[in-house]
A and B are shown apart, each in its own frame.
Chain A
Amino acid sequence: MFLYNKKLQYPVKIARPNPRLASIIISQYGGPDGELGASLRYLSQRYSMPFDEQKGLLTDIGVEELGHLEMIGAIIHQLTRNLKDKDIENSPLAPYFVDHTVGVYPTAASGFPYSAASMQVKGDPIADLCEDLGAEQKARVTYDNILRLSDDPDVNDVIKFLREREVVHFQRFGESLQQLREKLNQKNVYCMNPSMDL
Chain B
Amino acid sequence: MDYRKSEQMSCKMGKLPSKAPLANPYVPFQMENPARYDARKGLIRGTLYPGLDLPFRGMVNTKEKPPTPKNELQAIGFALNELALYLDTHPCDSEALELYRSYQKKYHDMMMKYSEDCKPLTHANPVNHKSYTWLSDPWPWEYAANKEG
**B141, A74: Cβ atoms under 8 Å?**
yes
Q: B39: CB under 8 A from chain A?
A: no
> Which listed segment binds A: B4-12, B72-80, B94-102?
B72-80
**Chain A interface, DSSP helix/strand/loop, else mixed:** helix
Q: A57-B89, A161-B61, A164-B46 are known contacts. Are A133 and B143 too (CB-CB below 8 A)?
A: no
Smallest CB-CB separation from A133: which chain B residue?
B25
Q: A73: CB under 8 A from chain B?
A: yes
How many residue pairs link A and B with beta carbons under 8 A? The number is 148
CA of A181 to CA of B74, assembled, Å: 35
CA of A194 to CA of B134, assembled, Å: 45
**A11, B27: Cβ atoms under 8 Å?**
no
Residues 75-95 of B at the A interface (beta carbon under 8 Å): 77-78, 81-82, 84-86, 88-91
Smallest CB-CB separation from A141: which chain B residue?
B56
**Nearest Cβ on chain A to B134's Cβ, whole angstroms:** 8
Q: Name the A residues within 8 Å of B71 (CB-CB).
A: 11
**B21, A168: Cβ atoms under 8 Å?**
no
Q: A179: CB under 8 A from chain B?
A: yes
Residues 53-76 of B at the A interface (beta carbon under 8 Å): 53-57, 59-61, 65, 70-71, 73-74
CA of A156 to CA of B61, assembled, Å: 9
Q: How many residues of B contact A (CB 8 A)?
A: 54
Residues 103-119 of A at the B interface (beta carbon under 8 Å): none
CA of A5 to CA of B30, assembled, Å: 30
**A56, B88: Cβ atoms under 8 Å?**
yes
Residues 149-198 of A at the B interface (beta carbon under 8 Å): 156-157, 160-165, 167-179, 181, 186-187, 189
**Nearest Cβ on chain A to B121's Cβ, whole angstroms:** 5
Q: How many residues of A contact B (CB 8 A)?
A: 54
Q: Name the A residues within 8 Å of B146 (CB-CB).
A: 8, 11-13, 74
Smallest CB-CB separation from B146: which chain A residue?
A13
Q: A3-B123, A177-B27 are known contacts. Are A160 and B46 too (CB-CB below 8 A)?
A: yes
Q: B1: CB under 8 A from chain A?
A: no
**B81, A60: Cβ atoms under 8 Å?**
yes
Q: Which of A10, A160, A175, A177 has the most chain B CB within a 10 Å cutoff? A: A10
Residues 57-103 of A at the B interface (beta carbon under 8 Å): 57, 60-61, 64, 70, 73-74, 77-78, 81
Q: Name the B residues within 8 Å of A6 (CB-CB).
A: 119-122, 134, 139-140
Closest 4 CB pairs of A and B: A174-B27, A164-B46, A74-B141, A175-B89
> Interface residues, chain B, CB within 8 Å of chain A?
21, 24-30, 43-47, 49, 52-57, 59-61, 65, 70-71, 73-74, 77-78, 81-82, 84-86, 88-91, 119-124, 134, 139-143, 146-147, 149
Apart from the given pairs A8-B146, A60-B81, A164-B54, 4 other A-B contacts in the complex at a CB distance below 8 Å: A9-B81, A70-B141, A74-B142, A161-B43
8 A-B residue pairings within 8 Å (CB atoms): A3-B124, A5-B121, A9-B81, A11-B65, A11-B74, A81-B143, A160-B55, A161-B44
